[in-house]
Amino acid sequence: MRKKVTKAIFPVAGMGTRFLPATKSVPKEIMTLVDRPLVQYAIDEARAAGIKEFIFVTSRGKSALEDYFDHNPVLEQELRKKNKDDLLDILKGTNMESGAIAYIRQHRALGLGHAVWCARRLIANEPFAVILPDDVIAAETPCLKQMVEAYEETGGNMVAAMEVPPEKASAYGVLDIKDDMGSIVSVNGMVEKPSAEEAPSNLAVIGRYILTPSVLSNLNKMKSGAGGEIQLTDAIAADIGTDNTVYGYRFRGQRFDCGSKAGFLQATVAFALARDDLRDDLMRYLEDIQQIGKAAE
């Protein structure tokens, strides 16, 4: 019987320089998308997929991230006094029970592969997920849950994939497709950040993975790859053709790149418009802006 995926690694050691000066003192992962930090979207998605153990790979200056998941008895007591039960329920979703969450330090910025490798002793011999909080995915069925259900059929390693324009291939790892079975594709290889001419397909890897422990063994042997970093895609690609071969999964949903300012703003608008309490006011504002723009032409 296939082992269930119950552990997830969240690589959050980056400095978030694209969001300076805000990230001088605030970790990017707790910047708010509407009224929830980016990392909360990732945690909620992981919980929906059956994840029970949450492993954060952090770095210096991330203490606010750790505090976010702690209980706040004073705040909770105040909310109880004022009978604000709805806000108490929201707070419960941010709390982590003792033993459910672990923090590992990545002391040097050596790439995503290195960040995942840092958590190897907490993974042991089990399949595990990797979630990049920068990639926020709006989906009826959470992306990782879709992948877990597909993984139960395929086993092996699985990466979330989406189609991108050829000119944007150089920003992603790109799949060399072997067999296209619709939602699931098997792969011949993975190319990290190829040029448009060298890209083997337009199917790009984004920040959701289900991986076997053999990937951690591969990372033990890895040397630096593209950009002088230890690339996770290289370690995954080393499993192609083995018993733990690699699949791409075309997820159903819309992905927002919240590692960029434009993507963060797009996600803010999209998630706000999906909220009953915000939609009407925001829509009126957007329509007003559009009318002002037309009048100025």
Q: Give residue-wise pLDDT tens across range 145-159.
A: 999 999 998 989 999
Q: Give the pLDDT band of residue 105 (cuts 50, 70, 90).
A: confident
Domains identified in the chain and CATH numbers: 7-259 (3.90.550.10), 261-297 (no CATH)
Burial class (CB in 10 A: 0-12, 13-18, 19+), 93: exposed
pLDDT in tens, 81-101: 888 888 888 888 787 777 788
**pTM of the predicted protein model:** 0.88
- Give pLDDT tens digits for 223-238: 665 556 778 888 898 8
Looking at residue 25, its pLDDT comes to 83
Instruction: Tell me if 48 sits within 8 A of 148, measured CB to CB.
Output: no
Phi–psi pair at 10, nearest 5 degrees: -120, 100
Residue 9 has pLDDT above 70, yes or no: yes
Q: Which of 13-17, 39-43, 145-149, 154-158 has the lowest mean pLDDT?
A: 13-17
